[in-house]
């Protein structure tokens, strides 16, 4: 078969570079983008927000000038944002990049965004702030176990999977049931993602745990050198959305500004929270068996890591 025919039949590649915070995704992906003629698409729940440059470690201006970056700075920190919106935006970006004959390279640490993009999400809206708010109040008054009991009557499958203390998920499941009349466990079965249409390759960068934690400490320090204090001050002047307010550094520095803790204590807490976050990220990625793991050596440069990924993409 002629080469061009074969190419027409082949699914187009969509690449993901994921990994725990501070592992070095940005630099590695940039190098890969150059080698591959690719464009970067952020896969990060915080980098979508404007004004959260330092706190979310966005790619710098110089890098963005050199390589096209997408899905950065697309929403105000005062607006709520979620996976579903992200997914819709990402799908559009993929088409756009492929239309230019470039390779979409997703880069980020938000495991849920990655999974939903690859595996899909159910179509029904099922989101209703009113219902959710009411359920939240109920769970505060009566306890999440009480709502869990109710959930096991309307959606036993979901109830079995959700722990009675996990208020968020219980509320979400009940919200969906009230809004759509259908159990969430049923809706979740009907999903279609990228994997149906594209040749999806996922690479998870990792480092020796001790080294990773060291890099996390260094990153927190460098955020302060770059002016984190001022950035967070201006963020706190706004009415932050629930998601944006969750960024590591917001609460810690708010407490410090309020005189509740010293700057050193705030920094130490940020480091600890980032470590815990990195651990959860790794757990998430570990269970995804499609992922190719890329262990980064001690002195390995981003371009070397990118070369290794290139080899895995095009085995001879």
Residues that bind RNA (CB under 7 A): 21, 44-47, 55-57, 80-85, 109-113, 115-116, 119-127, 132, 136, 161-163, 165-169, 171-172, 176, 184, 188, 191, 209, 213, 242-243, 246-249, 272-277, 279-284, 286-287
- β-pairing verdict for 199-206 and 292-295: parallel
Taking the complex as a whole, the smallest distance from the CB of residue 185 to RNA amounts, in Å, to: 9
**Which residue(s) pair with 204 in the sheet?**
18, 293
- Contact 289/115 with Cβ under 8 angstroms? no
Taking the complex as a whole, the smallest distance from the CB of residue 43 to RNA amounts, in Å, to: 9
Q: How far apart are CA 282 and CA 77, in angstroms?
A: 27
Taking the complex as a whole, the smallest distance from the CB of residue 309 to RNA amounts, in Å, to: 22
| Residue with Cβ nearer RNA (135 or 309) | 135
Output 257-265 pairs: Cβ under 8 A, ≥24 positions apart: 257/233
Task: Show the tokens assigned to 188.
Answer: 């979740």
Taking the complex as a whole, the smallest distance from the CB of residue 292 to RNA amounts, in Å, to: 17
Burial class (CB in 10 A: 0-12, 13-18, 19+), 264: exposed
| Residue with Cβ nearer RNA (37 or 125) | 125
| Residue with Cβ nearer RNA (271 or 308) | 271
| Residue with Cβ nearer RNA (13 or 255) | 255
| Residue with Cβ nearer RNA (24 or 126) | 126
Taking the complex as a whole, the smallest distance from the CB of residue 68 to RNA amounts, in Å, to: 20
- Contact 281/111 with Cβ under 8 angstroms? yes
Neighbouring CB atoms inside 10 A of 201's CB total: 17
């Amino acid at each position: 078969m002629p080469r061009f025919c074969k190419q027409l039949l082949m699914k187009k590649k969509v690449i993901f570079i994921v990994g725990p915070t501070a592992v070095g995704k940005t630099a590695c992906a940039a190098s890969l983008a150059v080698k591959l003629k690719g464009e970067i698409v952020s896969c990060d729940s915080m980098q979508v927000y404007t004004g959260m440059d330092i706190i979310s470690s966005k790619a710098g201006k110089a890098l963005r000038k050199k390589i096209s970056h997408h899905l950065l700075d697309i929403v105000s920190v005062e607006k709520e944002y979620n996976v579903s919106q992200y997914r819709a935006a990402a799908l559009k970006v993929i088409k756009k990049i492929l239309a230019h004959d470039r390779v979409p390279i997703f880069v980020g640490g938000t495991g849920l965004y990655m999974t939903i993009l690859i595996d899909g999400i159910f179509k029904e809206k099922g989101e209703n702030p009113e219902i959710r708010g009411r359920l939240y109040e109920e769970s505060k008054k009566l306890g999440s176990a009480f709502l869990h009991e109710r959930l096991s009557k309307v959606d036993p499958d979901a109830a079995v999977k959700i722990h009675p203390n996990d208020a968020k998920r219980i509320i979400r499941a009940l919200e969906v049931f009230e809004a759509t009349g259908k159990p969430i466990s049923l809706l979740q079965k009907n999903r279609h993602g990228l994997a149906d249409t594209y040749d999806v390759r996922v690479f998870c960068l990792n480092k020796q745990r001790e080294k990773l934690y060291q890099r996390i400490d260094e990153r927190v320090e460098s955020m302060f050198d770059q002016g984190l204090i001022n950035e967070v001050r201006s963020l706190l002047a706004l009415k932050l959305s629930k998601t944006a307010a969750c960024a590591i550094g917001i609460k810690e520095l708010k407490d410090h500004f309020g005189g509740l803790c010293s700057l050193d204590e705030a920094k130490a807490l940020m480091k600890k929270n980032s470590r815990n976050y990195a651990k959860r990220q790794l757990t998430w990625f570990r269970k995804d068996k499609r992922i190719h793991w890329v262990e980064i050596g001690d002195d390995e440069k981003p371009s070397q890591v990118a070369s290794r990924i290139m080899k895995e993409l095009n085995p001879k």
